Structure 1
Amino acid sequence: MRPDDDGFPEFVRQQWGPLLRSAYLLTGDRSHAEDLVQAALEKTHRKWRKVAAMDAPTAYVYRVMVNTATSWRRRRSWGEIPQLPADTARADDPYEQIEHRQQLYAALRKLPPKMRAVLVLRYFQDMSEADTADIMGCSVGSVKSQASRGLQRLRDHLDTTDLRFTADNLLGSRP
């Protein structure tokens, strides 16, 4: 380890899993998710001394990741929406509702990038509205309205009561 790393490798080891899960939900594709995490960590490493001194360095990395994902989405053609092949689900997955979860992820990928980011940070990462607003660089009211509209769009995309129930369970029900 180089002396100027100041705990960065340890931070990466601890946060890689949660960052990758969030990146997957933001991009809808495993390889794009890995690229997104790498890009966010690369940008973070350049300023690591300042970031490490912050109260919440993980929040900073999430903000970099959300901004990078949004930037990538703007540059990409509108005709391409990544879809997971049906055979990407592992046979040994312990969840009985893997098909429902995949449909939820597909519906999530149809949302605009900022709305998707709000839902990922709020419900999948279980962040508060204030933390999400801080990461997104917007007001708490914007987070509330984006979350409300995003949840409604997800429910609209999921056509059966069973799937709506699954979405509510996976996302949790928040006031």
Structure 2
Amino acid sequence: MSLSLSSGSITTGDTFSLNVINDSDTTNLLAALGINTFFSGSDASNIAVSTDVSNDVSLIAASTGEVGNNTNALRLAALQDDTSAINNTTFADYLHQIASSLGEEASNAYKSEESYDVIETSLENRRDEISGVSVDEELVNLVRYQQAYQASAKYISIVNGLMDRLLSTLG
């Protein structure tokens, strides 16, 4: 902004006022320097309204410069119905889409976890079938070995009796 006055046009006691309206900081220089910032913080975990604004709400410009003008406040209120900012949808609809997507992803993750639990249980059961001890199989083997032992004992008893007869006949 520049102001130039010709010589002699202002006299002592004259006053004037000028309302200056500035466009928004499109270069983000003010925010980078920490001047005239509305928010504090650097990411979603610590973003907040700056303490200067929260302590003095009159720092929020509701008008574009004229007394009683509420153009900025009306523009801010109109943002709730604006569809040009985010994927041709309103802020409320966008928030709803995000919440729905997160809910669906959480549901899918829960279902996947349940499926993996069933698969894990099935694999553990199969492993136990292959590597574990089956009481029924062991009982069948025990009976089989017992019968083999009894047959061997009977065979030895018969061979022992035959040897006794043979030795008594020869001798």
- TM bin, normalised by shorter chain, reads under 0.3
Question: TM-score under structure 1 normalisation?
Answer: 0.19
Larger Rg: 2
TM score, norm. by length of structure 2:
0.19
